[in-house]
Amino acid sequence: MADVITLNDATLDETLNGKQPLMLVFHNGDLRGDFSTAFTQTAQQKQDITFAKITMAENPAATALFNIGKKPVLIGWYNGIEVVRRGRPWGTDIPLAIDMLEEARRQMPINPEPITTEANATQLQTQNKEQHIVDNAPVNVTDSTFQAEAIDYSDNMPVLIDFWAEWCGPCRAVAPVLEKLAGEYAGKIRVAKVDVDENPGLAQYFQVMSIPTIMILKNRTQIFSQPGAFPEEAFRDLIDQAIELDVPQPEATDAQPEGGE
């Protein structure tokens, strides 16, 4: 029976470079109760996946490597690549993360080149972009990861961004629709979520005045931005149009929004 292990800056490298997929949660003792229970129980059931926790406040190198903010984050890691990321995770996030890890293991051979916590975070993000697994669920992006995970994520693939907050009722109504569409359009569009409370730099940069606000980027170009909790069919129309739209590749830009975590 496997237990959840505790990692730190000194022991992280060995686990990252292990042959097993890794479910790693960053926290400061503020995990949801349902998540903690599900995480422990699943660790005991899934012997072929390593389950680990790391305290953010005590391990700045690991926290910086993964661009972790102030809230708990669940990372699914395999073969030197971040396969899945869930901010403020719930227990229900674990089965999906496991599915994505197992799909990554089926698709990818073991990478013999080690990753270390001293590696530059931008280099790690670039590697993830070049070898990324197809998203089948929304991904959380932040002030510090937006450039790599949204603007520069992929040529020709639209990125639909949902600016939201946990207290927002219409945002909660939109969330399951985006979860569904992220799965249906996997490989054709990326769905990203920006918590405006945790990422004020992005909200200010894009002048987000009300939430939810839906934005679509393609080839580093903003092609749509409008507030509102749209019905599913409206989202489908937007996505279909974004996929078909021919957007020329722009010149190199310094479009990194100001304001980090």
Q: Residue 74, Cβ neighbours under 10 Å: how many?
A: 23
Is residue 256 among the annotated active site residues?
A: no
Rg (CA), the chain: 18
The one catalytic residue among 43, 100, 171, 242: 171
CATH of domain 1-133: 3.40.30.10
Give the start-to-end residue ranges of the domains of the chain: 1-133, 134-261
For 128-156, what is each residue's pLDDT tens digit?
Answer: 444 445 677 888 888 888 888 888 887 78
Domain 134-261 listed as CATH 2.30.31.70: no
DSSP bridge pairs for 221: 218
The pTM of the full predicted model, rounded to 2 decimals, is: 0.54
35: Cβ contacts below 8 Å, ≥ 6 apart: 25, 72, 74, 89, 90, 91, 93, 94
Residue 117: its pLDDT value, please?
52
How far apart are the C-alpha atoms of 13 and 40, rounded to whole Å? 22
Active site residue 17: no
Of 16, 22, 52, 168, which is the active-site residue? 168
Identical fold at 1-133 and 134-261? yes
Please tell me the predicted confidence (pLDDT) of residue 110.
Answer: 59
Distance CA(202)–CA(258), nearest Å, equals: 7
Task: Tell me how far apart the alpha carbons of residues 121 and 123 are, in angstroms, rounded to a whole number.
Answer: 5
Low-confidence ranges of the chain (pLDDT < 70): 1, 109-134, 250-261
Q: Please choose, from the candidates 53, 61, 138, the residue with its C-alpha nearest in 3D space to the C-alpha of residue 97.
A: 138
How confident is the model at residue 253, as a pLDDT? Answer: 44
pLDDT of 116: 55
